[in-house]
Amino acid sequence: MRFLLRHLASVLPVVFGVLLLTFLLLHMVPGDPVEVMLGESATAADRDRLRAELGLNQPLPIQFADYLGRLAQGDFGHSIHTHVPIAELLAQRIPATIRLTLLALVVALMMGVPLGIIAALHHNRWPDRGARLFALTLSAMPHFWLGPLLMLVFALWLPWLPVSGMETGASIVLPALTLACGLAALLTRMTRASLLDVLGEDFVRTARAKGLPERTVVLRHALRAALLPVVTVVGLQLGSLLAGAVITETVFGWDGVGRLLVESIEKRDYPVTQACVLVIALAYVAVNRLTDFAYARLDPRVRFV
């Protein structure tokens, strides 16, 4: 319980820091939402009236305090441009981002962990070299380059999958694969390195000395210990998948939180941008805390650190 309470208490300063930084950075970005909404032909009186209606004529500390007060009541506010409640916008977009992120995580695990195990069991032989080359190649491909490349191959040259959008179930394949490749490369390297370290431990040599089959030694004894750092990486990278979804959703026209964030930044829609960043930050923090709990479950020594 002490471990749980200590980690939950650390969430509040992080969330407050995210809110404060997001608020300040948005107001430092060049551009005025009033100018975007009214255009250049609007009069000064119209601009002043709209700025007062939106509360943008107040000092920044008062605007921030009002924003925190609304958040404390569960009110994200309304979009400056569409006047739609932001909670409705998020409720429409969050499920799409969750589907995309979870599928990318499953694909990355199915690619990275088996390759890492194969590489470790065939150390310095051709399967190991092939797995390392695969991981190096994928890690060198950023999302904004890999996404159009996959479109070119699987949607134009080989018309197997949709180019973009969310019209069919197959539309999720290319964006999920784009997100998964970078994480799969990292998981391959981490699993390989961790399993190689564990295979040299005394308890593994003892299991082999008892005459246990090599498959039992690897899967039941070595792999469980080797997966401890992999669990940490998966937890941290799951948050990174949410951040990476901003680019991937924009490239593939996937209507998730990431695309909503980009659209709100382009329109200088401050409330929507703040809400999107807050949701992504909270998801990142929540995943990190869950990773700590899972790690403590696997290794009880962590609970006393």
SS3 readout for 94-111: HHHHHHHHHHHHHHHHHH
- Mean pLDDT value of segment 42-70: 78
Average pLDDT, the chain: 81
Q: Is 261 exposed, middle or buried (0-12, 13-18, 19+ CB in 10 A)?
A: buried
Q: Which residues of 191-220 are buried (b: 16+ CB within 10 A; e: fewer)?
A: bbbbbbebbeeeebeebeeeeeeeeebbee
What is the per-residue pLDDT across 248-279, written as a single tens digit (0 to 9) for each? Answer: 888 888 888 888 888 888 887 878 888 888 88
Question: For residue 55, is pLDDT > 80?
Answer: no
Q: In which band, very low, low, confident or very high, does the pLDDT at 304 lie, cut at 50, 70 and 90?
A: very low
pLDDT at 244: 67
| Of residues 186 and 214, more confidently modeled | 186
Q: Given the structure tokens 């964030």, which residue do they identify?
A: 261
Is the pTM above the cut of 0.85? no
What is the per-residue pLDDT across 217-245, written as a single tens digit (0 to 9) for each? Answer: 777 777 777 877 787 778 777 777 776 67
Question: For residue 301, is pLDDT > 60?
Answer: no
Q: Given the structure tokens 């990278």, which residue do they identify?
A: 237
pLDDT at 107: 92
- Mean pLDDT value of segment 203-213: 77
φ, ψ for residue 12, nearest 5 deg: -60, -50
Question: For residue 112, is pLDDT > 80?
Answer: yes
Across 9-23, 44-58, 190-204, least confident range: 44-58
Question: For residue 148, is pLDDT > 80?
Answer: yes
- Mean pLDDT value of segment 172-190: 89
φ, ψ for residue 117, nearest 5 deg: -65, -45
Q: Which two tokens stand for residue 119?
A: 């590489």
Using CA of residue 233, residue 283, residue 305, residue 1, what is the dihedral sign? Answer: negative
Give the domains, in start order, of the chain with CATH numbers: 34-75 (no CATH), 87-304 (1.10.3720.10)
- Mean pLDDT value of segment 138-159: 85
